[in-house]
């Protein structure tokens, strides 16, 4: 059991108040100390954080607490909830496991670009986002190729099931020591995603670009863009019955047989 629990919520997602009350009642049963924070006003005064919201809320919270070495546990109120470990229905069982230290903390690779960090990905596009742009790619100061595309995604294994997958990139196991580079709608069939070691220095050269970190923080760069593995890791709390492959099956509906059509 930890000393001080944080309860982080996203007020823009309906249903958060009932989850807070339920979580408070459960924590009170264990005489646990806790504080409640909005995702807009996160506090370092805790050593374990419950995050109520969707994947976007978890991403923002995990980035903040990664620098403090504090683990986060996601309670899903969003749509997909790929990073969360439970919902309202499973909260009581999940909390019992957590209070009995029956969980794991998984260190997730993060990226850095200047002063910004990302748990999922950095997405790079031209300043005029409605037009295709040229992206000159270098890895470890070696020229690789030029993409003429709508954008380019530099993704961690965690982010491989997000925008990278939607753009045609592969699904990576969360603790794989690699990064993926995925062009968005490239204007040539020969352009393909690339998997590189996590320690690689990725550079995009060419012109002025617009960059987003986890789809949440947006900034512009008029110089070469350099993306490296961050020295910080996001610490996600995982329950033993929520392994990565079961999450793929349940969240992405893998392995379900097609429904036979009734031709009557």
* Separation of alpha carbons 211 and 223, rounded Å: 12
- Token readout for 48 is 């374990």
Asked if 55 is an active-site residue, the reply is yes
How many CA atoms, within 13 angstroms, populate the side-chain half-sphere of residue 261?
1
User: 239 Cβ partners below 8 Å, 6+ apart?
Assistant: 85, 86, 94, 97, 102, 103, 104
* Separation of alpha carbons 241 and 262, rounded Å: 36
Please state, as a whole number, how many other Cβ atoms lie within 10 Å of the Cβ of residue 133. Answer: 22
* CB-based contact 111:228 (threshold 8 Å): yes
Distances (CA, A) of 139 to 41, 143, 154, 169, 225: 37, 7, 12, 18, 12
**Active site residue: 55, 121, 150, 214, which one?**
55
- The C-alpha angle with vertex 35 and arms to 29 and 38, in degrees rounded to 5, equals 130
What are the residue numbers of the active site? Answer: 55
């Amino acid at each position: 059991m930890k000393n001080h629990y944080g309860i982080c919520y996203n007020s823009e997602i309906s249903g958060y108040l009932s989850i807070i009350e339920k979580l408070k009642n459960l924590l009170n049963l264990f005489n646990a100390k806790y504080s409640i924070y909005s995702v807009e006003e996160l506090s370092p005064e805790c050593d374990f954080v419950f995050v109520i919201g969707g994947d976007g809320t978890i991403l923002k919270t995990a980035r903040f607490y990664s620098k403090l070495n504090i683990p986060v546990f996601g309670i899903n109120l969003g749509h997909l909830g790929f990073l969360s470990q439970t919902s309202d229905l499973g909260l009581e069982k999940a909390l019992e496991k957590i209070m009995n230290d029956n969980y794991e903390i998984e260190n997730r690779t993060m990226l850095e670009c200047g002063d910004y960090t990302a748990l999922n990905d950095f997405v790079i596009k031209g300043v005029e986002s409605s037009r295709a742009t040229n992206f000159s790619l270098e890895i470890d100061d070696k020229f690789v190729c030029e993409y003429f595309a709508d954008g380019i995604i530099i993704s961690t294994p965690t982010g491989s099931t997000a925008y990278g997958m939607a753009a045609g990139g592969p699904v990576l196991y969360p603790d794989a020591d690699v990064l993926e580079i995925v062009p968005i709608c490239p204007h040539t069939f020969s352009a393909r995603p690339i998997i590189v070691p996590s320690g690689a220095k990725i550079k995009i050269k060419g012109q002025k670009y617009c960059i987003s970190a986890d789809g949440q923080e947006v900034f512009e760069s008029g110089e070469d863009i350099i993306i490296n593995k961050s020295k910080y890791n996001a610490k996600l709390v995982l329950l033993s019955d929520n392994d990565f492959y079961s999450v793929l099956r349940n969240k992405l509906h893998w392995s379900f047989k097609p429904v036979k059509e009734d031709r009557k």
